């Protein structure tokens, strides 16, 4: 069953609505919260957690081996950090988990053509899985998107549409075009976050079914936050755990509608006059599930925080010196580890998890220009 987060109306599982007629976001209602005995131990990657996914027949899925990424222990200036290397997913970003779930569901529902809009990574992933599923796809991206991501979309056979202006202009153009084709926006989709949540189940299993104290997640639309929260709230509902790890949702100061709302203690994202940021993957001024993201962070006892361009770039360089070559968007976790430690929000002796969301190889052009002209 699908339900509207805003008005509570319910819809049949086979519905192809991408949002409620009232304008609210739709969620898939989990029939049974996930538990340890639901793990399909014969499977690899995210399909170990297939019992938690909105799919009728996960065994007949299309897949490129998404999930199953390493969790490696490390040290960050005295902090004990487990790096979750989700940039090693097949298309180079964690988005593969959510898109694999979304595209397989749309394939079950008989969708043959779709439109997606993306800052780049979700579009690359969508083009890849649509190619596998035999679904035609048109991907709308902002004009500033890294070349690596655009070339990837084209290589997978996606039709690339570059829209001048902001990420929000891109969404509006895609919504308009979608009056004729199915709009598979991963941010609006009721299925995407359920694929994403598998990274959290995976972390839990990789830690020997122990809980971390806190997790650090880059946040634009906030799908990592929603996926993480969904997973751990399911585990709590099934009696596997009795507390929630603190979620730190990380935004660039240049585009921080959620951090501002958190600071002002409001329930919905604040209007934000955004500026350009090197963290292009989390440059979302109007997160469509912002209310849910803020609520999830608050329930966990964590926070939404914002970081300067300079701090994000420093984070990139420090991560690279640890052999972790990620895109500048992901480097915001480096900025956060430094600043939240100094602020006393993260402490030595705590068990921290930091998600690295996208590969640096996709952003070569952007990284090269930043080396020549770093943020002040
Ligand atoms: Zn509604």
What is the per-residue pLDDT across 193-209, written as a single tens digit (0 to 9) for each? Answer: 999 999 999 999 999 99
Residues 108, 254 within the same domain:
no
Last residue of one domain, picked from the residues 138, 162, 183: 183
Q: How far is the CA of 135 from the centre of ligand 1 (A)?
A: 28
pLDDT at residue number 184: 96
**pLDDT greater than 90 at residue 31:** yes
Out of 137, 157, 183, a domain closes at 183
Write the DSSP string, 176-216. Answer: HHTTTSEE--TTT-SSHHHHHTHHHHHHHHHTTSPPPSEEE
* Domain ranges, residue 107: 95-183
* 7 located within any domain: no
Q: Look at residue 125 and tell me if it is in a domain.
A: yes
Whether residues 137 and 222 share a domain: the answer is no
Tell me how far the alpha carbon of residue 223 lies from the centroid of ligand 1, in angstroms.
20
Mark whether 232 and 252 lie in a shared domain. yes
Q: Which tokens hold the place of 370?
A: 């930043």
Classify residue 8 by burial, with Cβ atoms within 10 Å: 0-12, 13-18, 19+: exposed
Tell me the CA–centroid distance for residue 181 and ligand 1, in Å.
22
Do 217 and 289 belong to one domain? yes
If asked whether residues 207 and 335 sit together in one domain, one would say yes
Same domain, 83 and 138: no
Same domain, 120 and 244: no
The predicted pLDDT at position 119 comes to 83
Q: Are 119 and 143 in contact (CB under 8 A)?
A: no
What pLDDT, on a 0 to 100 scale, did the predictor assign at position 210?
96
For 78-133, write each residue's pLDDT tens digit.
999 999 999 999 999 999 999 999 999 999 999 999 999 988 899 999 999 999 99
Same domain, 196 and 321: yes
| Residue 5 Cα to ligand 1 middle (Å) | 7
Same-domain status, 198 and 86: yes
The arithmetic mean of pLDDT across residues 174-189, rounded, is: 91
Q: Among 74-78, 104-108, 144-148, 280-284, which stretch is predicted with the lowest mean pLDDT?
A: 144-148
The pLDDT assigned to 180 comes to: 82
pLDDT of residue 23: 96
Is the same domain home to 245 and 318? yes
- Residues near ion ligand 1 (CB < 5 Å) are 4, 6-7, 9, 20, 22, 24
Q: What is the pLDDT of residue 146?
A: 86
User: Does 151 reside within a domain?
Assistant: yes
Q: Indicate if the pLDDT at residue 179 is higher than 90.
A: no
Tell me which of 183, 212, 229 is where a domain ends: 183
Average pLDDT over residues 170-190: 92
Q: How far is the CA of 26 from the centre of ligand 1 (A)?
A: 8
335: domain CATH number is 3.40.50.1100
Q: Does a structural domain hold residue 30?
A: no
Whether residues 317 and 169 fall in one domain: no
Residue 4 CA to ligand 1 center (angstroms) comes to 5
Residue 56 lies in a domain: no
**Rounded Cα–Cα distance for residues 82 and 234 (Å):** 22
Q: If you average pLDDT over residues 20-28, what whole number do you get?
A: 97
HSE-CB at 308 with a 13 A cutoff on CA atoms is 8
Distance CA(181)–CA(189), nearest Å, equals 15
**Is the pLDDT confidence value at 178 over 90?**
no
Domain count, the chain: 2
Ligand 1 center to 28 CA (angstroms): 13
pLDDT in tens, 246-272: 999 999 999 999 999 999 999 999 999
How distant, in Å, are the alpha carbons of 48, 202, 232, 240 from that of 36?
10, 11, 12, 7
Q: How far is the CA of 21 from the centre of ligand 1 (A)?
A: 6
> Quick one: pLDDT at residue 242?
96
Mean pLDDT of the chain: 96
pLDDT band at residue 148 under the 50/70/90 scheme: confident
Distance 15 CA to ligand 1 centre (A): 14
Residue 13 lies in a domain: no
For residues 278 and 366, membership in a common domain is answered with yes
Sheet of strand 10-11, all strands in order from the earlier edge strand to the far edge:
10-11, 2-4, 26-28
In a domain, 32, yes or no: no
- Does the pTM surpass 0.85? The reply is yes
63 found inside a domain: no
């Amino acid at each position: 069953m699908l339900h509207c987060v805003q008005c509570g109306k319910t819809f049949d599982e086979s519905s192809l609505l991408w949002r409620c007629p009232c304008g609210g976001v739709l969620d898939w209602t989990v029939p049974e919260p996930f538990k340890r005995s639901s793990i399909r131990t014969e499977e690899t990657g995210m399909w170990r957690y297939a019992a938690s996914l909105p799919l009728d027949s996960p065994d007949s899925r299309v897949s490129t081996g998404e999930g199953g990424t390493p969790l490696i222990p490390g040290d960050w200036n005295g902090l004990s950090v487990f790096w979750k290397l989700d940039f090693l997913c097949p298309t180079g970003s964690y988005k593969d988990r959510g898109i694999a779930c979304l595209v397989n569901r749309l394939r079950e529902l008989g969708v043959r053509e779709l439109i997606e809009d993306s800052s780049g990574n979700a579009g690359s992933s969508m083009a890849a899985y649509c190619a596998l599923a035999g679904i035609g796809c048109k991907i709308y991206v902002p004009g500033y998107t890294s070349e690596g991501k655009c070339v990837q979309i084209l290589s997978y056979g996606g039709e690339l549409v570059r829209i001048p202006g902001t990420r929000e202009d891109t969404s509006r153009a895609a919504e308009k075009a979608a009056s004729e084709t199915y709009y598979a926006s991963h941010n609006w989709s009721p299925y995407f976050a359920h694929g994403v949540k598998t990274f959290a189940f995976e972390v839990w299993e990789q830690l020997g079914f122990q809980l971390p104290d806190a997790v650090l997640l880059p946040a634009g639309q906030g799908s990592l936050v929603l996926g993480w929260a969904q997973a751990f709230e399911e585990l709590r509902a099934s009696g596997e755990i009795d507390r929630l790890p603190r979620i730190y949702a990380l935004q660039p100061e240049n585009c921080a509608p959620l951090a501002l709302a958190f600071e002002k203690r409001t329930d919905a994202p604040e209007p934000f006059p955004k500026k350009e940021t090197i963290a292009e993957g989390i440059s979302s001024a109007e997160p469509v599930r912002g209310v849910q993201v803020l609520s999830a962070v608050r329930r966990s006892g964590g926070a939404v925080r914002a970081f300067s361009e300079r701090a994000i770039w420093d984070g990139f360089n420090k991560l690279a010196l640890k052999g972790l070559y990620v895109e500048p968007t992901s480097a915001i976790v480096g900025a956060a580890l430094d600043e939240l430690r100094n602020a006393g929000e993260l402490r030595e002796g705590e068990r921290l998890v930091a998600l690295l969301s996208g590969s640096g190889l996709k952003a070569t052009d952007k990284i090269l220009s930043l080396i020549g002209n770093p943020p002040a």
